[in-house]
Amino acid sequence: MERPAATEYRILRETIASRGGLRSTLALSGLGLWALLLVAVLAWIPYPLGAIIPLLALVATFEVIRPLHFGAERIGRYLQAFYEEDGQPERPLAETPSWERVSMKLSTVPGVGGHPLFVLVFFLATIVNTLPVLLAQPLATPIEMAALGVPHVAFMIWLFNADRAMRAQRAAELEQFRSLYKA
């Protein structure tokens, strides 16, 4: 049984909204857990290797929110291509929902909405996460410091790659959905 178009549109719009709220909640919760783990490592584990524990919390938090954003963005492009650009078959374009079409025409103002993946926040947290390595200086050998720097730098690179993919996703998927709609 197929769902009526208006119902599908409403459900998918609600999905985007719920994923946005969940993403923020999970980011805040994950960063709070990371901060607690970092304090615990600084207080109880005087070895540089302890920095891996809070770093894992950062990575896990990012990997939970990243697919939520990418999925919500994909749903938005689907709605735009199938419901908002050409209008639904039974209604003229002027009467169809137009949130996606209109929002993409807005000029972006830096700093207004924040970053949907919280990349800057995760980047800064990763830098702060090196504290156990730096504070254990008398205990940390240069080899340990370099070895522990590798996962931190790798995560920072992953953050910027995810940001680049996020910026390219909208246009690429919109074109794919337009092709599917016309097929």
| pLDDT confidence bin for 126, thresholds 50/70/90 | very high
Q: Determine if residue 85 is left, alpha or beta; phi over 0 gives left, psi from -120 to 50 gives alpha, anything else beta.
A: alpha
What is the percentage of the chain residues whose pLDDT exceeds 90?
A: 53
48-69 tens-digit pLDDT: 888 999 999 999 999 999 999 9
74-86 tens-digit pLDDT: 999 998 888 887 6
| pLDDT confidence bin for 36, thresholds 50/70/90 | very high
pLDDT winner (highest mean) among 27-31, 44-48, 99-103: 27-31
Assess whether pLDDT exceeds 70 at residue 107: no
| pLDDT confidence bin for 139, thresholds 50/70/90 | low
Predicted structure pTM score: 0.84
pLDDT at position 153, please?
Answer: 96
